[in-house]
Amino acid sequence: MSLIEKELGAIMDGIFADYKENKFIDKVDISNQPDKKIICDILSKLQEIIFPGFFKPDTYKTYTVKSTISMLVEDVLFNLKNQIAITLKYDPVFSDSPVCETEGEAQRIAVGFLKRIPTLREYIETDVTAAFDGDPAAYNKEEIVVTYPGFYAIMVNRIAHELHLLGVPLIPRIMTEHAHSLTGIDIHPGATIGKYFFIDHGTGIVIGETTVIGDNVKIYQGVTLGALSTRGGQSLKNVKRHPTIEDNVTIYSGATILGGETIIGKNVVIGGNTFITSSVLEGTKVSAKQPELNFKK
How is residue 185 annotated by DSSP? -
Is residue 258 a contact partner of residue 278, using CB atoms and an 8 Å limit?
no
Higher pLDDT, 230 or 48: 48
Does residue 2 belong to any structural domain of this protein? no
Q: Supply the pLDDT for residue 75.
A: 95
Instruction: Give the pLDDT band of residue 58 (cuts 50, 70, 90).
Output: low
- What is the arithmetic mean of pLDDT over 120-126? 97
Q: Supply the pLDDT for residue 94.
A: 84
Segment holding 156, helix H or strand E: helix 149-165
Does residue 10 belong to any structural domain of this protein? no
Per DSSP (E only), the strands in 111-223 are 186-187, 192-193, 198-200, 206-207, 212-213, 218-220
Could you tell me if 66 and 200 lie in one domain? no
Could you tell me if 39 and 155 lie in one domain? yes
Does residue 8 belong to any structural domain of this protein? no
Q: Supply the pLDDT for residue 234.
A: 75
Does residue 160 belong to any structural domain of this protein? yes
- What is the arithmetic mean of pLDDT over 97-114? 92
pTM of the model: 0.90
Does residue 22 belong to any structural domain of this protein? no
Q: Supply the pLDDT for residue 63.
A: 60
CATH number of the domain that residue 112 is part of: 1.10.3130.10
**What is the domain range of residue 94?**
30-184
Span between the terminal Cα atoms of the chain, in Å: 65
- The SS3 of residue 21 is coil
d(CA 248, CA 245): 9
Q: Supply the pLDDT for residue 287.
A: 94
Q: Supply the pLDDT for residue 98.
A: 83
List, in sequence order, every residue forming a beta bridge with 280; answer none if it has no partner.
264
Phi, then psi, of 225 in degrees rounded to 5: -110, 95
Exposed, middle or buried: residue 140 (CB in 10 Å: 0-12, 13-18, 19+)? exposed
Is residue 87 a contact partner of residue 169, using CB atoms and an 8 Å limit?
yes
Mean of the per-residue pLDDT values of the chain = 92
Instruction: Give the pLDDT band of residue 59 (cuts 50, 70, 90).
Output: low
What helix, strand, coil percent values describe the chain, rounded to 5?
45, 10, 40
Instruction: Give the pLDDT band of residue 26 (cuts 50, 70, 90).
Output: confident
* pLDDT at residue 54 tops 90: no
d(CA 281, CA 270): 11
Does residue 102 belong to any structural domain of this protein? yes
Q: Supply the pLDDT for residue 82.
A: 96
Residue 147 Cα distances to 80, 142, 184, 192, 294, angstroms: 26, 8, 14, 24, 39
* pLDDT at residue 60 tops 80: no
Segment holding 151, helix H or strand E: helix 149-165
* Structure confidence by residue, pLDDT tens digits, 176-189: 999 999 999 999 99
Could you tell me if 148 and 273 lie in one domain? no
Could you tell me if 145 and 73 lie in one domain? yes
Measured at the alpha carbon of residue 111, what is the angle toward residues 108 and 115, in degrees to the nearest 5? 135
Is residue 195 a contact partner of residue 119, using CB atoms and an 8 Å limit?
no
Does residue 61 belong to any structural domain of this protein? yes
Does residue 146 belong to any structural domain of this protein? yes
* pLDDT at residue 68 tops 90: no
Could you tell me if 99 and 215 lie in one domain? no
Could you tell me if 139 and 195 lie in one domain? no
- The answer for residues whose C-beta is within 8 angstroms of residue 32's C-beta and 6 or more apart is 86, 89
Could you tell me if 115 and 224 lie in one domain? no
Higher pLDDT, 282 or 90: 282
Last residue of a domain, one of 184, 204, 235: 184
Could you tell me if 113 and 164 lie in one domain? yes
- What is the arithmetic mean of pLDDT over 92-115? 90
Q: Say how many domains are in the chain.
A: 2
Last residue of a domain, one of 133, 162, 184: 184
* pLDDT at residue 156 tops 90: yes
Could you tell me if 40 and 122 lie in one domain? yes
CATH number of the domain that residue 223 is part of: 2.160.10.10
Q: Supply the pLDDT for residue 168.
A: 97
Could you tell me if 140 and 243 lie in one domain? no
Could you tell me if 169 and 39 lie in one domain? yes
Could you tell me if 81 and 206 lie in one domain? no
Last residue of a domain, one of 143, 159, 184: 184
* pLDDT at residue 50 tops 90: yes
Q: Supply the pLDDT for residue 237.
A: 77
Instruction: Give the pLDDT band of residue 251 (cuts 50, 70, 90).
Output: very high
